[in-house]
Amino acid sequence: MKIAIVGSGAIGCYYGARLLQAGNDVRFLMRSDLETVRSQGLRIMSPAGNAHLHNLPAYATTGEIGPVDLVFIALKSTANDALPALVPPLLGPDTAILTLQNGLGNEEFLGSHFGHQRILGGLGFVCITRTAPGVIEHYGHGSIVLGEARGPGTPRAENIVATFLAAHIQCRLAHDMVWEHWRKLVWNIPFNGLSIAAGKATVEDLLASPVLRREVEELMLEVITAAGALAHPIDQSVVPFEIERSLIMGPYRPSSLVDYERGLPVEVEAIWGEPLRQALDAGIQVPRLSLLHALLTRLTTPPTLT
């Protein structure tokens, strides 16, 4: 499969490298790390196996890459405005677009620009970060769930799942990607948000504090309530499951916190704003999510110069 990675940060480089090692024709769109990767290669440090890839097919523009079978989007949702210009050179008649972005609304955005029939949604469950130019640290997890953005699974989606599995990436086919997005928000909304709002707190910090741990649990329950009202029912038993799963992460810094510390845009609207709006439109009161969204908006909005 010929694949273009649009967004060659930690997630794009990690999954792209695994697909490349499995024999796929993978091409990476890179900006800031381009010269480093061309001269020194790409390093992946991972419990699943370290890798140092030389002569990586890295490009400065999508025009150099040309049409592919699959466009794999791993950009932050804050960069979506760039996609209408980046994606068209990669498209052939049957090119599929798979977005591995957090939050809600990304598939709809892509479908409005490139046709809903092209779009698949995906979610990565992985602890990973870029520690230096051309260096990716993978700490654990790594599974992907993907499916058609609209409707149940298809042979096309099954073929993409098989491609990931052949690259030793745990992957499963989803039959309702909207439900999958809400299910992931059960973790992302509290941990990514409170890590910033609570003063650069790690997952370990949040769970060590009885007050913050309770806030995590209450936010999870609000997300579950909102999802249920929108016909995406999630059992409340996922709350203790997610707490226990998070305990083993230790001092892990969620991706939104990493972006915030680096002065990069935080995906406030995709992860907190859009779920909040959908909940309120459905008549569901989510006071903790409302407060967290307001705090994050204030903390991440650059000061206005006067």
| Residue 15 exposed, middle or buried by CB count within 10 Å (0-12, 13-18, 19+) | buried
Distance CA 144, CA 185 (A): 15
Q: From CA 232, how far away is CA 283, in angstroms rounded?
A: 15
SS (H, E, C) 251-290: CCCCHHHHHHHCCCCCCHHHHHHHHHHHHHHCCCCCHHHH
What phi and psi values does residue 301 have, to the nearest 5 degrees? Answer: -85, 120
Structure letter (DSSP) for residue 305: P
Instruction: List, in order, residues 6 or more apart from 79 with CB less than 8 Å away.
Output: 7, 265
Q: What 3-state class would DSSP assign to 68?
A: coil
Judge whether 200 counts as a catalytic residue. no
| Tokens linked to 225 | 């309530």
Which residue of the set 2, 76, 184, 200 is catalytic?
Answer: 184
Tokens of 208: 């060590």
Q: Is the CB of residue 178 less than 8 Å from the CB of residue 151?
A: no
What's the CA gap between 112 and 116, in Å, rounded?
7
Any idea which residues carry the catalytic annotation?
184
